[in-house]
Structure 1
């Protein structure tokens, strides 16, 4: 705890190392160690997420195994909505735990086991059987992820000071992005068989989740306040009714879903030939955006997560408008145009992720962070379930109009976020 090395690294990574807003005196004494445990564990889990990304890695894997397109289409909804919707039911149980790190540890172990199950299915089965079993394993992974998500806000709030939380998550994201970049370069290089590389990456992801669980298990966490929230999950929606700022935050976050949903439609806009030939460059552009921006967004979020949400919304709208302009002038099929537009969009997307996470932790009352997170995530999960309507819209009017709708949503998010309170300490 007193190691000069730990303190030096901690002081290098945060603004105002002596600040301890939101922590007890005992938690302040352990904060350098806690900060670095958070950073290490999150970096490993985020790298694992990148190695097993359903949008790219698992979609390619199922296609190579001959699974029907039906199962490929299920991957992203299972992963995204499956990680959000269960949180409402899990929140009351998590808030009944004195030390909530054990919920996160269990969720990380569950994700690791699920990843190894996906690897086993890929090695043993093909076709529809492989598709169905891998989707089932991904559903368990998503459920385990929801347990990590619903417990993490309380753990972070109880062990890392208010002005340092964005730095912890941002640093972890940047470290993980560097690992994903190495993976992308290997995929592009052709030095190793692509199928073998993908299978090794999935196995490595499972191991990373296991190691992250052991790191977080050593976190010094004082007993959290046990909430008196009703055990009826639906009763927690009263929080949304009673807290106007939470409602505004959820509306802002719902509008910002546009930054997450837009990339596939940008690829459609470019046309199949242009997009497929640039797949490696797109993965690299996405990873570089995370590497270069996540830490900066985290530091800015510690100062004003509300402003980060606004800046990210405006940046996302500009990136989408740029993609539309490049398409209109016939440049989107060039080798540089689509990766550049995606790079700009993903910078904004990571700003949204850092800003919304930091804002929710800092605005939530002590002992109710799990409930606030669960209610917010449940609403967004339900929104993601119906996001297939955008696919229908694209089929009717084309991806350009769909991207224009997303740009308008991003601008609206910036306007709504302007009315959010500043929740960070001066």
Structure 2
């Protein structure tokens, strides 16, 4: 009883209007304080694990250290991003047929932990092209497992946490994870530990965190739900694009907002290799600080209007990219402060996109169809990410400055499209 009282007290401190039921059943509402804290804990551990095994920085550095060809280094981000999105359409019908969808999430977390452990074992055992190829295979399994978590999570969240509390749960998780990534960045910058050993320990810790998250989610109270009437033909689920105009507008908004995720490498290219490499620790720190300081705020604002969060993220992302171009034109980008400051501003927008898109999709999706809406949306975005290599070709022809300008225009366009979205929280 004392434990339940403590959980209720924490819940009341962390959310606005704790009594709001937000579409929950009586049984789910009774267990909501416990469920809310489990969501925040499990998601926080997985987000920290993501930060410790970040393909853009950590795995790229590890493969370079192991002497893997650049070809394998270039595969890391596409495998991780598109691999986590594209399988969701095929998985959605299976997940919707489950009575308790938390078990799909648990299986996905275990798969990610096992994949991270495999990466450590490969790094300790092999070098060169063989290490690069095996780590890419392990990352592909990790991405597939993450896909299973993603396609099931919004349904689980929608069934166990009230509508007006969901953004707070994910925001707390993001902020907590960011604090852990900041510690990791400071350790990397300190030089106290051998960098390769520290990286391998951090990936091993990520494996443990995914395992613990699976245990936490397994203890979540989730009532059994009826199987969806959705067809088991994955392609048939695309009919919701034809039927739901708001979903189409949301996907266009989200598609334009991928510019906030794709821009950082081009910012580094614009700064020049010497300037960017000398600031690597500062860039990691700036990214983590942006998440720590903004995620919870974005989460609380998403509970009021996730549409407004998407709009503001587009405006702020566009502003950060324009500021980067101005710094470059003034010759300031190689200074110690300009590039980290611009990245900090862009990452605040990026985390707004993550919070806003997640909350909006959960709140707009009809009961029993959240997995299908998630899968269709993510599949379209996954195809877009696969096609994002065209931006690399664009940068090779016209330079990173023009590419960043294109990203700035995309983010501004996203704000314009988001303005026409309906308010999902008041539907």
* 5+ long unaligned stretches in structure 2: none
Q: CA deviation at 1:425?
A: 3.7
Tell me what 2:149 maps to: 148
What is the rounded CA distance, in whole Å, between the counterparts of 1:63 and 1:258 in structure 2? Answer: 26
Tell me what 1:403 maps to: 404
Tell me what 2:417 maps to: 416
4+ runs deviating over 2 angstroms: none
User: What are the Cα deviations for residues 268-302 of structure 1, in whole angstroms up to 9, with x where unaligned?
Assistant: 00000000000000000000000000000000000
SS at match of 1:408: helix
SS at match of 2:316: helix
Pairing 1:211–2:212 present: yes
What is the rounded CA distance, in whole Å, between the counterparts of 2:153 and 2:36 in structure 1? Answer: 13
Q: CA deviation at 1:22?
A: 1.4
What is the rounded CA distance, in whole Å, between the counterparts of 2:120 and 2:135 in structure 1? Answer: 9
What is the rounded CA distance, in whole Å, between the counterparts of 2:115 and 2:271 in structure 1? Answer: 34
Provide TM-score, normalisation by structure 2: 0.99
SS at match of 1:3: helix
Equivalences, count: 426
Q: CA deviation at 1:250?
A: 0.2
Q: CA deviation at 1:224?
A: 2.1
Asked if 2 retains the 8 angstrom alpha-carbon contact of 1:162 and 1:425, the reply is no
* 5+ long unaligned stretches in structure 1: none
Tell me what 2:60 maps to: 59
Tell me what 1:183 maps to: 184
Tell me what 2:285 maps to: 284
User: What are the Cα deviations for residues 363-399 of structure 1, in whole angstroms up to 9, with x where unaligned?
Assistant: 0001100000000000000000010000000000000
What is the rounded CA distance, in whole Å, between the counterparts of 1:263 and 1:20 in structure 2? Answer: 40
Tell me what 1:76 maps to: 77
| Matches for 1:364-403 after TM superposition, within 5 Å | 364-403=365-404
What is the rounded CA distance, in whole Å, between the counterparts of 1:406 and 1:123 in structure 2? Answer: 39
What is the rounded CA distance, in whole Å, between the counterparts of 2:258 and 2:365 in structure 1? Answer: 21
Tell me what 1:132 maps to: 133
Tell me what 1:362 maps to: 363
Tell me what 2:194 maps to: 193
Tell me what 1:18 maps to: 19
Pairing 1:99–2:124 present: no
Asked if 2 retains the 8 angstrom alpha-carbon contact of 1:21 and 1:425, the reply is no
Provide TM-score, normalisation by structure 1: 0.99
What is the rounded CA distance, in whole Å, between the counterparts of 2:426 and 2:159 in structure 1? Answer: 16
SS at match of 2:402: helix
What is the rounded CA distance, in whole Å, between the counterparts of 2:424 and 2:256 in structure 1? Answer: 21
What is the rounded CA distance, in whole Å, between the counterparts of 1:155 and 1:274 in structure 2? Answer: 44
Q: CA deviation at 1:423?
A: 1.0
Asked if 2 retains the 8 angstrom alpha-carbon contact of 1:15 and 1:164, the reply is yes
